[in-house]
Amino acid sequence: MYTMTDLFCGAGGSGLGATSVPGVELRMAANHSPRAIETHETNFPDCKHDCADISQVVPRRYERTNILWASPECTNHSIAKGRRRAAPGQASLFDDEVPDHVAERSRATMWDVPRFAEAHRYDVVIVENVVDAVKWEPFRAWLLAMDSYGYDHHIVSLNSMHAPAIAAPRAPQSRDRMYVVFWRKGNPRPNLDIRPQAYCPACDMVVEAVQSFKPGREVGRYRQQYVYRCPRFAKCKTVVEPFALPAAAVIDWSNQGQRIGDRDKPLSDKTLARIEAGLARYGRPMTFEATGNTFVRPGSGYARAWPADWPTATLTTSHTRALLVPSGGTRNEDARPVGEPFRTRTTSEWEACWCRWRAARANRPRPPGCRCARRPHGTRRRWWCPTTRPASRTPPTCGRCRR
C-alpha cells in the first residue's frame, strides 16, 4: 500500500485521481481554506485533514507518506491573470512576501516542495502547475534544490482532454498543465510516456499516438509547442488528433437558462460580438466567454467561441463561461444532411451518427455506442467520436468512420 499527502486538497480532484490507482491511499490533506477542508472531508472521510497555511507549517507536523502531491497556487504564473509577467527583481508567486493579497494566501509555494521533501524524503513527489511556471526565474534553481536532496525528475506536458480514462471518465475540457515528477535516485524511472489513442488517416487505423515537441521545446501547450504523431515513424509520422470527449457530454441540456432578450441587464458589446462570431462560424450550440477575456486586442476581430461538441477551453475559478443554444425545435424527427448545422441538443438521444462509409466497408458492423460526428467546417478534416456515455472509452473501431 502506498500512502499520499496532498498539499492542495481543494475538493479532492487530485486525491480522487490518485486513489483510483489500485494500492494508493490518501493519508493526509492540507489547505488554508476552511471551505476546501470541509468539502474534502466530505469526499474523503477517512483521510486526515489540516486547515493551515502551508508556508507556515513545520513539515514534521505531518507523518511521512510515500508520495507527495503539491499544486502550488498558479494565479500569479498563469497568463490568464491578465498582467505582464513580473520583471527581474519584482516579487513573484514563490517569494515569501508578495504584494498580492491572493498570493499571500497561496495554498503551497514552490519552495515548500523541497522544504517538505527534505524533511520526509518521499519516494515520489508530483508537482502540478500551469505551463508558464517554467518561466519563473529560479525554476532551474528549484529543480537543482530537489536534485541536491537526491531526486531525479521529468517534466510531463499534458492536456487534460488527452488524459486516459483509467478509472474515471475523460475530461471534456482543454486544459494544458505541467507535471514535474520527482523520484529517488537509484529507483527505477517511472513510465511517464502517455500515449492517447488517435486515428491515423494515412495508416487507416487507430494508433497510440506519441508526443512530438517542436525543435528546441521540452515543455509547452498542445498544438503550440507539441503535437501528437503516428508511432509508425519508419513509414508514417503523420500528425494525428487524439480522441476527446466533447463539452456536450457534461452539459445539462434540461437547464434552459435565460434568453438573451429577457435579461434585465443588457450584454456588453464584446459579449454580443462573441455570440455573433460563434453563430457565424458554427451555427449550433456553443460555449463562449461571457466576461473576463483580457487577451483580445481591439480591432483584431477575434472572439472566443467554441461549438458544444468540442472540449471546453480551460475553466478558471471565475464564472465567465456561457452556453448559447437556439430556442425551440426539440420535436423534429426528420433527417437532415451533414452540410447543415446540428439542431438543439437535449437530454434525449439526440446525437446522430454522421458518417460517410466507403463502399468496401459498407457492410461492416457499426461499433456499439458509436456517436461519430464530423468536425466543423474550417477545421482539420478529421472524424472524432464523442459519446453520450461520459464514462466509456471511445470505441477504437470508430476510427473507421472517416472521410
Q: Tell me the pLDDT tens digit for each residue of 43-55.
A: 999 999 999 989 8
Rg of the chain's alpha carbons, rounded to an integer? 23
Report CA dihedral (354, 358, 359, 364) to the nearest 10 degrees: -70
Q: Distance between CA 180 and CA 218 in Å, rounded?
A: 12
**Are 146 and 153 a contacting pair, CB within 8 Å?**
yes
Q: Is the pLDDT of residue 93 over 80?
A: no
Helix (H, G, I), strand (E, B) or coil at 131: helix
pLDDT at res. 317: 61
Superfamily for 2-149? Vaccinia Virus protein VP39 (3.40.50.150)
Classify residue 97 as exposed, middle or buried by CB count within 10 Å of its CB (0-12, 13-18, 19+): exposed
For the residues 106-118, what does the mean pLDDT come to?
82
pLDDT at res. 349: 45
For the residues 100-110, what does the mean pLDDT come to?
53
Q: Distance between CA 76 and CA 333 in Å, rounded?
A: 51
Q: Distance between CA 162 and CA 290 in Å, rounded?
A: 26
In this structure, the strands spanning 67-70 and 48-51 are unpaired
Q: Distance between CA 239 and CA 35 in Å, rounded?
A: 44
Report which of 11, 48, 50 is spatially closest to residue 32, judged by C-alpha positions: 50
pLDDT at res. 155: 97
Q: Is the pLDDT of residue 370 over 60?
A: no
Q: At what angle do helices 112-120 and 139-148 cross, to 10 degrees?
A: 0
Helix (H, G, I), strand (E, B) or coil at 210: strand
Q: Distance between CA 376 and CA 323 in Å, rounded?
A: 18
Helix (H, G, I), strand (E, B) or coil at 173: strand
pLDDT at res. 229: 96
Span 306-333, pLDDT tens digits: 666 667 666 666 666 666 555 444 444 4
Span 209-266, pLDDT tens digits: 999 999 999 999 999 999 999 998 778 989 999 998 888 888 888 887 787 778 888 8
**Are 390 and 249 a contacting pair, CB within 8 Å?**
yes
pLDDT at res. 84: 52
Q: Distance between CA 335 and CA 106 in Å, rounded?
A: 54
Q: Is the pLDDT of residue 395 over 80?
A: no
All residues at 6 or more sequence positions from 274 whose CB lies less than 8 Å from its CB, including other chains: 288, 289, 290, 293, 303, 304, 305
Most confident range (mean pLDDT) of 21-30, 76-85, 268-277 is 21-30
Q: Could you tell me the three cell numbers for 314?
A: 480551460
Q: Could you tell me the three cell numbers for 301?
A: 476581430
Task: Provide the β-strand partners of residue 342.
Answer: none
- What is the domain partition of the chain in residue ranges? 2-149, 197-242, 248-324
pLDDT at res. 61: 94
Q: Which of 110-114, 161-165, 192-196, 345-349 is least confident?
A: 345-349
What percentage of the chain exceeds 70 in pLDDT? 61
Q: How confident is the model at residue 304 (pLDDT cuts 50, 70, 90)?
A: low
Q: Where are the beta strands (DSSP E) in 52-150?
A: 67-70, 124-129
Long-range contacts, stretch 146-151, CB < 8 angstroms, 24+ apart: 146/113, 146/114, 146/117, 146/182, 149/114, 149/117, 149/118, 149/121, 150/121, 150/184, 150/185, 151/117, 151/125, 151/182, 151/183, 151/184, 151/185
The residue assigned the cell 472531508 is 41
Integer CA distances (angstroms), 142 to 67, 94, 133, 266, in order: 19, 10, 11, 48
